[in-house]
Amino acid sequence: MSNSHSHHHHHDDDRDKDEVLARYMAQHGLKSTRQRSLIIDTFFAVGGHLSVEELWNKVREQDTKVSVATVYRTMKLLSECGLAHARNFGDGQTRYEAAAGRDHHDHLVCTGCGTIIEFENERIEALQDAVARRHGFKVTSHKMELYGLCRECQRGGPVASEA
């Protein structure tokens, strides 16, 4: 339900992403390797909010001997060039989510079953900017999470926890 009104066309997201990545790598003298490509492709293909370990598992389905270290290093890269955002939802792990070509969005996190729903709200964004301006801040990014119980969990009681 996202990618509705991008300023461009259909799969420009992908193109943008690749461009951003290529430019960044060139500027920083980085090399394109089999592992990096695999990790990055997997990351964008799977989507969602992946912990490094989850991503690592997915990656290893393709190439058994990619090391976690490489996944950590690659995700840090993606994060630095703005194609992924690191998030912390309170479970001990850092989770990454794709950022390219997406409007900013925030999260509703169900503390019962762990479901994460994304949403966007322009009016909130506008107010955030206003607040920041009022404090003399130049905002570069933000995150917002609402924690609570989803419809299901309000009824039947929380579904068994599953980390």
Comparing CB distances to a copy of itself, the nearer of 65 and 151 is 151
Residue 110 known to bind ligand: yes
Instruction: From 10-18, 43-51, 56-64, 124-132, give the range in contact with a copy of itself by CB under 8 A.
Output: 124-132
What would the two tokens of residue 69 be?
A: 């270290």
What does each C-alpha distance from 134 to 6, 123, 128 come to in angstroms? 29, 17, 10
Q: Indicate the residue type of 95.
A: R
Which does residue 150 bind out of a copy of itself, DNA, none, counting CB within 5 to 8 angstroms by kind? a copy of itself
Q: Tell me the backbone φ, ψ of residue 143, rounded to 5 degrees.
A: -140, 150
| 98 contact partners, CB below 8 Å, separation of at least 6 | 43, 44, 47, 83, 84
What would the two tokens of residue 120 be?
A: 């966007």
Residue 113 known to bind ligand: yes
Q: Map the footprint of DNA across residues 53-92, applying CB under 7 A.
A: 53, 63, 65-70, 72-74, 76, 91-92
Would you give the binding string for DNA spanning residues 16-55, x where CB under 7 A is met? -------------xxxxxxxx--------------xxx--
Contact between 84 and a copy of itself by CB under 8 A: the answer reads no
Comparing CB distances to a copy of itself, the nearer of 68 and 132 is 132
Q: Determine the Cα angle at 84 with ends 59 and 15, to 5°.
A: 85
Comparing CB distances to a copy of itself, the nearer of 70 and 111 is 111
Residue 28 known to bind ligand: no
| 97 contact partners, CB below 8 Å, separation of at least 6 | 47, 48, 49, 50, 84, 85, 87
Residue ranges of the annotated binding site for Fe cation are 104, 106, 125, 142
Residue ranges of the annotated binding site for Zn(2+) are 110, 113, 150, 153
